[in-house]
C-alpha cells in the first residue's frame, strides 16, 4: 500500500496544476496516471487561454461572454472565479517559462476567438496545450513530486453510507500497467480526479483514445452526481478522416468556411450575420451540418476551411502546426488548397458535480478539469476557456485538498433541500445495473465508521478478484466489439442534431452493451502491459458515461447551447434554467435538478437571446 496526503488521479493540465498547488500548500502529493504525464491529452489543445490581460478588457467582460456563450446554464460564481483568476494564472505560466507567442514589444500575444468580445485568447502558436502540459510537468519535476506513471486507477475507495453526502473517500485502487500488480493508494487528505474527457463514447472525436471517462464513472459509482452530461461540444473543425482537431485559431486569424458552391455560408445563409465563422461553436457546427444535409456539403460529408488568403508568413507564425496536421492526416497543403472539416465530438461541458473548490459531495473527493463540472461552460464552452479552467480550478482543488481555507463555497453539491426531484420522462428501457455486476462500486461492507485501512484492503482484494475473473474467463465477448457498438450508437443518435426517438434508440443499444458486457472477457493472458485488460475496464466506464449523456439528452426537452432537440427548437427558460444531475443510486441512475445560479458579484446575468 502506498500512502500520501493528496492523491491526484490523472496528470494532464488540471492534475499537474492541482499537484503543484497541493505541494506548495505543504502536502505530500502523488500523481497516479495511466499515461506518462507528457502523454496527456491536454497536449493536443491548440487554441489558447482566455485571460483579460489588456487595457480595454476586464474579467467582467470575460464573465459576460462566458455566461452568454453558456446559453445561461453556467453558474455565475464559478464563471467569475474563472475570469478573475485567469489573468494571474496565465501570467504565472509565463513566469514558469511558457513559450507564448509574442508581440513586437515582447509581451504575450492575444488573438480573437469565437464568442469573445475582446481578443483575449493568449496562445503559443497553434500548440498551446502542448506547451502548457510540458511547462507544468517541468514544474512537477522541479518540485520532486512523486509520479506513478502508467498506473491505471480502477476504483475509488469510499465508505458506503446510504447518503453519498455522508460518504468519505480514503484513496484509490491502482493497477500497474507494466507489471500487472494491483495496490491500494491511501490518501490522508483527499483524492483529486483529473482524468479528462469522455470523448471515446463517440466514434468521431478529437479526443485521444485514452479519454474514456474513467474519473466520471468512478465518481458516479461512488455517489457523486454527474451534472449536465447532455451538453457535448462538437467542434466545427475536425478533419473528416480521423477527427484530428483544426484549431479555432484558424477562424480567429481570419479563416473562412465555404460550402460546395463556394458560398461563405455563415453569412450567405444567415447563420450568424454579425460574427460569421466566429460565432460560438454550437452555432457553427449546426450550420455546417445543415449545409451538408441540404446538399451543399463537399462530397456530402464536410465543408471547406480556407486560410490561404492569410498568407504564408502569418500562417507560419501563428498556425504552422495546422499545416502539418492537414498534410499528415488529410494529405492537403493548407497553403495552396482549402482544408476539409466537419464537426467532431470535442468536449464535455458536463462532468462530476463540484463546487468552486473542486469538492464533490463525497468528503475528500475532488475533481478538476474536463472531468469536472463546476460549472463554467453551461450549455456551450467558448474556445479558449478550457485551459484557464484547468489551471484555475486545478489549483483551487489542490489547495483545498491540502487544507488551505478558501472560504465557504456558493455552489452546492449532492442531493439536498435545494434540488428539484425526479423527472416524469418515460425511459425506453430500465437503465442502470441490469445485466451488469456492480463489482468495483462502493467498496465498504456496511460499517458506517469503517476504518480506512480495512476498506482499502477490501477494495484491493475485490479488484484483484475482478481482474482474475476477467483474465481467467475462457471466452465471451471482447471489449472492442462492445465499444465500437456503443460509439456508433452515440454518434448516430446523440450527435449535433438529436431527436427523442433517436435518443431512445441509443439508450436501448447502451442497455444491450451493458448486457453484453456481462459476458466480456480478456483474451490476453499476460500480466505484463495488458492493454486488453485496461481497455476492457475502460469500456465499462464508457457504458456508464454514455448512459448519463443519453439520459440527460432525453429528459432535457429544450434547445440550449450544444443540445439541440428536433421536437423543441427553442430555449425554455421557464422550465430549464437548471442543471441536470444524475446519480448512481444503488446501481440505478436517478435524475434530479438544481437551479442555475445567475447572480454574480455585482450583477445578475439576465438570459437574453443569443445572437452572433
Partner 1 sequence: MSTQQAEPESQEAPKDPEMQGAESPAAEKQKGGGMVDQTSTDASELEGETVHIKVFRYDPEVEAKQEPRFDDFHVPFEKGMTVLDAVMYARDEYDSSLTFRHSCRQAVCGSDAFFVNGKQRLGCKTQIADLEQPVRIEPLPHQEVVKDLVVDMDHFYDQMHTVEPYFQQEDLPDGELEEQRQSRENREKVKMSTRCIWCGACMSSCNIAAGDNEYLGPAAINKAYRFAMDEREDEEIKEHRLRILEQEHGVWRCQTQFSCTEVCPKDIPLTEHIQELKREAVKKNLKFW
Q: How far is CA 323 from CA 129, 177, 206, in A?
A: 17, 35, 17
- Among 131, 286, 296, 357, which residue sits at the site for partner 1 (rule: CB under 8 A)? 131
The span of 3-11, 125-133, 358-366, 428-436 binding partner 1 (CB under 8 A) equals 125-133
Site for partner 1 in 401-460 (CB under 8 A): none
Only one residue has cell 471515446, namely 200
Chain residues 18-77 in contact with partner 1, contact rule CB under 8 A: 35-36, 38-41, 43-44, 53
Among 10, 13, 69, 87, interactor with partner 1 by CB under 8 A: 87
- Give the integer Cα–Cα distance in Å for 201 and 197: 10
By C-beta, is 180 or 428 nearer to partner 1?
Answer: 180
Q: How far is the CB of 537 from partner 1 (least distance, A)?
A: 14
Is 127 an interacting residue with respect to partner 1 (CB under 8 A)?
yes
CA distance 527 to 507: 34
The count of C-alpha atoms lying within 13 angstroms of the C-alpha of 398, restricted to the half-sphere facing its C-beta, is 31
Site string for partner 1, 460-479 (x = CB under 8 A): ------------------xx
Cell of 579: 442543471
Of residues 9, 21, 135, 224, which one binds partner 1 by CB under 8 A?
A: 135
Binding to partner 1 by residue 169, rule CB under 8 A?
no
| DSSP-assigned letter for residue 292 | H
Residue 108 binds partner 1, judged by CB under 8 A: yes
Which of residues 205 and 548 has its CB atom nearest to partner 1 in the complex? 205
* 122 vs 244: CA distance, rounded Å: 22
611 burial class (0-12, 13-18, 19+ CB within 10 angstroms)?
A: exposed
Which one of 137-145, 163-171, 259-267, 290-298 is the stretch in contact with partner 1 (CB under 8 A)? 137-145
When the beta carbons of 81 and 590 are compared against partner 1, the nearer one is 81
- Whether the Cβ atoms of residue 168 and residue 187 lie closer than 8 Å to each other: no
Q: Which of 55, 105, 417, 424 binds partner 1 (CB under 8 A)?
A: 105
Q: Is residue 256 a contact residue for partner 1 (CB under 8 A)? A: no
Confirm or reject binding of residue 530 to partner 1 (CB under 8 A): yes
Among 274, 299, 449, 528, binds partner 1 (CB under 8 A): 528
Q: Closest Cα partner for 553 from 517, 514, 501, 509?
A: 501
Within 318-377, which residues bind partner 1 (CB under 8 A)?
324-325, 328-331
Residue 287 or 371 with smaller CB distance to partner 1: 371
Which of 469, 526, 570, 604 touches partner 1 by CB under 8 A? 526
Sign of the torsion formed by the C-alpha atoms of 129, 132, 138 and 139:
negative
Q: In terms of Cα–Cα distance, which of 369, 283, 348 is closest to 610?
A: 283
User: Considering only 241-249, 367-375, 381-389, 583-591, which stretch makes contact with partner 1 by CB under 8 A?
Assistant: 241-249
Check 120, 167, 221, 281 and give the catalytic one: 281
For residues 100 and 34, the answer to whether their CB atoms sit within 8 Å is no
Residue 493 CA: distances (Å) to CA of 328, 432, 487, 489, 504: 30, 19, 10, 6, 9
Q: Which three cell numbers stand for residue 171?
A: 484513496
For partner 1, the binding residue among 58, 61, 101, 335 (CB under 8 A) is: 101
How many other C-beta atoms are found inside a 10 Å radius of the C-beta of residue 270?
Answer: 9
Binding residues for partner 1, rule CB under 8 A, total 67
Q: For residue 265, give the nearest of 287, 238, 286 by alpha carbon.
A: 287
- 178, 438, 566, 570: which one contacts partner 1 (CB under 8 A)? 178
| Grid cell in block for residue 446 | 456496511
Residue 282 CB neighbour total at 10 angstroms? 28
Q: Return the number of the residue (251 or 479) whose C-beta is nearest partner 1.
A: 479
Active site residue 281: yes
* Subset of 475-504 contacting partner 1 (CB under 8 A): 478-480, 484
H or E stretch at 497? strand 497-498
Of the candidate residues 125, 174, 197, 384, the single one contacting partner 1 (CB under 8 A): 125
Report how far residue 83's alpha carbon sits from residue 139's, in angstroms, rounded to the nearest whole number.
Answer: 24
Contact between 314 and partner 1 (CB under 8 A)?
no
Q: What angle do CA 494, 497, 498 make, to 5 degrees?
A: 50
Q: Choose which of 24, 60, 244, 412 interacts with partner 1 (CB under 8 A).
A: 244
Q: Which is nearer to partner 1, 55 or 426 (CB)?
A: 55
SS3 84: helix
Catalog residues that contact partner 1 under the rule CB under 8 A: 35-36, 38-41, 43-44, 53, 87-88, 91, 94-97, 99-108, 125, 127, 129-131, 134-135, 138-139, 141-142, 178, 208-210, 241-245, 324-325, 328-331, 478-480, 484, 522-532
Residues with catalytic annotation? 281
Amino acid at each position: 500500500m502506498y500512502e500520501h496526503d493528496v492523491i491526484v488521479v490523472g496528470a494532464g493540465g488540471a492534475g499537474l496544476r492541482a499537484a503543484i498547488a497541493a505541494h506548495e500548500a505543504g502536502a505530500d502529493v502523488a500523481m497516479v496516471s495511466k499515461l506518462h504525464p507528457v502523454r496527456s491529452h491536454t497536449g493536443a489543445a491548440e487554441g489558447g487561454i482566455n485571460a483579460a490581460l489588456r487595457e480595454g478588457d476586464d474579467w467582467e467582460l470575460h464573465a459576460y461572454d462566458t455566461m452568454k456563450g453558456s446559453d445561461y446554464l453556467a453558474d455565475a460564481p464559478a464563471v467569475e472565479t474563472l475570469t478573475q483568476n485567469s489573468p494571474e494564472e496565465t501570467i504565472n505560466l509565463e513566469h514558469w517559462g511558457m513559450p507564448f507567442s509574442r508581440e513586437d514589444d515582447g509581451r504575450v500575444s492575444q488573438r480573437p476567438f469565437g464568442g469573445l468580445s475582446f481578443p483575449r485568447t493568449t496562445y503559443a502558436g497553434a500548440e498551446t496545450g502542448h506547451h502548457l502540459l510540458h511547462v507544468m510537468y517541468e514544474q512537477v519535476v522541479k518540485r520532486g513530486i512523486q509520479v506513478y506513471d502508467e498506473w491505471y486507477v480502477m476504483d475509488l475507495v469510499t465508505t458506503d453510507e446510504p447518503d453519498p453526502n455522508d460518504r468519505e473517500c480514503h484513496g484509490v485502487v491502482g493497477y500497474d500497467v507494466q507489471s500487472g500488480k494491483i495496490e491500494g493508494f491511501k490518501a490522508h487528505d483527499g483524492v483529486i480526479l483529473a482524468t479528462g474527457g469522455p470523448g471515446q463514447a463517440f466514434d468521431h472525436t478529437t479526443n485521444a483514445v485514452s479519454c474514456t471517462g474513467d474519473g466520471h464513472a468512478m465518481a458516479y459509482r461512488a455517489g457523486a452526481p454527474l451534472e449536465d452530461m447532455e451538453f457535448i461540444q462538437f467542434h466545427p473543425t475536425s478533419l473528416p478522416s480521423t477527427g484530428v482537431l483544426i484549431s479555432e485559431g484558424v477562424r480567429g486569424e481570419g479563416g473562412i468556411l465555404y460550402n460546395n458552391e463556394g458560398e461563405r455560408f455563415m453569412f450567405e445563409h444567415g447563420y450568424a450575420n454579425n460574427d460569421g465563422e466566429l460565432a460560438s461553436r454550437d452555432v457553427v457546427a449546426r450550420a455546417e451540418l445543415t449545409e451538408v444535409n441540404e446538399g451543399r456539403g463537399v462530397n456530402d460529408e464536410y465543408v471547406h476551411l480556407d486560410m490561404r488568403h492569410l498568407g504564408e508568413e502569418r500562417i507560419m507564425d501563428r498556425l504552422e502546426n495546422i499545416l502539418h496536421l492537414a498534410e499528415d492526416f488529410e494529405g492537403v497543403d493548407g497553403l495552396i488548397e482549402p482544408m476539409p472539416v466537419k464537426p467532431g465530438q470535442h468536449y464535455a461541458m458536463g462532468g462530476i458535480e463540484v463546487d468552486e473548490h473542486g469538492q464533490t459531495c463525497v468528503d475528500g473527493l475532488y475533481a478538476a478539469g474536463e472531468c469536472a463540472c463546476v460549472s463554467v461552460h453551461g450549455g456551450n464552452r467558448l474556445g479558449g476557456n478550457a485551459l484557464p479552467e484547468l489551471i484555475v480550478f486545478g489549483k483551487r482543488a489542490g489547495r483545498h485538498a491540502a487544507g488551505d481555507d478558501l472560504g465557504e463555497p456558493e455552489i452546492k453539491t449532492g442531493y439536498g433541500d435545494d434540488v428539484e426531484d425526479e423527472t416524469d420522462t418515460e425511459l425506453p428501457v430500465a437503465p442502470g445495473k441490469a445485466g451488469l455486476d456492480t463489482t468495483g462500486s462502493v467498496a465498504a461492507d456496511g460499517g458506517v465508521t469503517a476504518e480506512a485501512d480495512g476498506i482499502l484492503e477490501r477494495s484491493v482484494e475485490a479488484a484483484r478478484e475482478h481482474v482474475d475473473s476477467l483474465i481467467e474467463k475462457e471466452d465471451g465477448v471482447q471489449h472492442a466489439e462492445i465499444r465500437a457498438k456503443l460509439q456508433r450508437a452515440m454518434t448516430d443518435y446523440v450527435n449535433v442534431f438529436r431527436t427523442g426517438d433517436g435518443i431512445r434508440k441509443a439508450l436501448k443499444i447502451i442497455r444491450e452493451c451493458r448486457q453484453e458486457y456481462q459476458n466480456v472477457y480478456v483474451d490476453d493472458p499476460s500480466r505484463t502491459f495488458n492493454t486488453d485488460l485496461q481497455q476492457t475496464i475502460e469500456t465499462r466506464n464508457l457504458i456508464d458515461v454514455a448512459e448519463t449523456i443519453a439520459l440527460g439528452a432525453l429528459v432535457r426537452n429544450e434547445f440550449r447551447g450544444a443540445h439541440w432537440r428536433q421536437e423543441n427548437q427553442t430555449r425554455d427558460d421557464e422550465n430549464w434554467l437548471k442543471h441536470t444531475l444524475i446519480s448512481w443510486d444503488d446501481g440505478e441512475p436517478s435524475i434530479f435538478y438544481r437551479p442555475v445560479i445567475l447572480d454574480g458579484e455585482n450583477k445578475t446575468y439576465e438570459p437574453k437571446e443569443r445572437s452572433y
